[in-house]
Amino acid sequence: MRKVIYIEKDIKDLPRTKYILKKFKNPIIILIDRYSEVFNKKNQNFRLQKINPAIILAKKYKNFILETPKSYTIGKKNNYYFSYMYNCLFDCRYCFLQGMYNSSNFVIFINYEDFFKEISFLKKKNIGKNTTIFSGYDCDSLAYDNITNFSNSVLKYFENFNDIELEIRTKSTYLKPFYRRSLKNIVLAFSFTPERFSTKYELGVASLKKRVDALKKVVNFGWNIGIRFDPFVIYEGWEVDYERLFKILFSTVPREQIHSVTYGNIRYPKKIFNNIKKMYTNEKLFLKFEKNKKNIYDENNGELIDNFCKNYLFTQIDQSKVFCNIHEK
């Protein structure tokens, strides 16, 4: 099936645009003025587009980095995130993106250097030593990296940002760019749910074995590793599944290379939850969700998750490396 690629006219002749286009055989190219005229259109069918998403190559002009919620951290005082891409190659049933965007097409902002320039300002403000930047909020950082070549640009620039910490979060097994000498200020963070759950609800994500095998390879190069159980999901038999998952992961990554572990429950703002529920009216995964006073929908299982994680994790790694992202009532 031929890939449809929309390109903003102002960037059609740039080297990175041409590089990405070479990755596709005989694509259908449509020139546009701004990505929003395609991506933000109303009455789009997210599920139908997900079968064969179009690509939209664009340039970002503002809001290159944004502050995270106040409680969100993996140890640093100042926390920011950025998204060089909107939407994800994978199809996770619980993903908030399907309730956030009208479209499941991929938007790729090709002006990576402008993101890095904005990050460099933090260093000039002399707050870099206590700052973490998160990549992978509106997309999976590496799932489309063989097309975007984003990680190679990251490695090049962050060698010069010694003090600023970067988290690259992914569920992908495409880790080839990281089969090299590690950078101490980069954390490769891997999101996991038990395989019985992942097989059903995380379509396109590789098996646990393949992901652990890929994880082993980057561990051998000395990278700092983040383990992310966010979301942590509750279903029949979850305790046994998570204990097995914990055992596999913590026997794979040496303790000294575990940078941080995070866990949190599934939660959605009201509007996003309602949009997702319309798509999956009979999905059992969402039947127990309730709205709390802050207009956040969750399953009210935060205390259960917190106790379970603490009981296990605190026997495996230093408590200072464990961070809870459970929504507070």
Q: Which domains does the chain have, with CATH numbers?
A: 62-81+110-324 (3.80.30.30)
Which pLDDT score is estimated for 175?
A: 97
pTM here is: 0.95
Share of the chain above pLDDT 70, in %: 99
> In terms of DSSP bridges, do strands 66-67 and 78-82 run parallel, antiparallel, or are they unpaired?
antiparallel
CA 52 vs CA 30, 96, 137, 164, 316: distances in Å: 16, 19, 22, 37, 42
Q: Rounded distance, CA 136 to CA 141, Å?
A: 5
Both tokens of 105, joined, read 């097409």
> Is residue 329 within 8 Å of 292, Cβ to Cβ?
yes
> Is residue 151 within 8 Å of 188, Cβ to Cβ?
no
What pLDDT digit, counting tens, does each position of 238-295 carry? Answer: 999 999 999 999 999 999 999 999 999 999 999 999 999 999 988 989 888 999 878 8
Both tokens of 297, joined, read 């929908």
Both tokens of 134, joined, read 């998160």
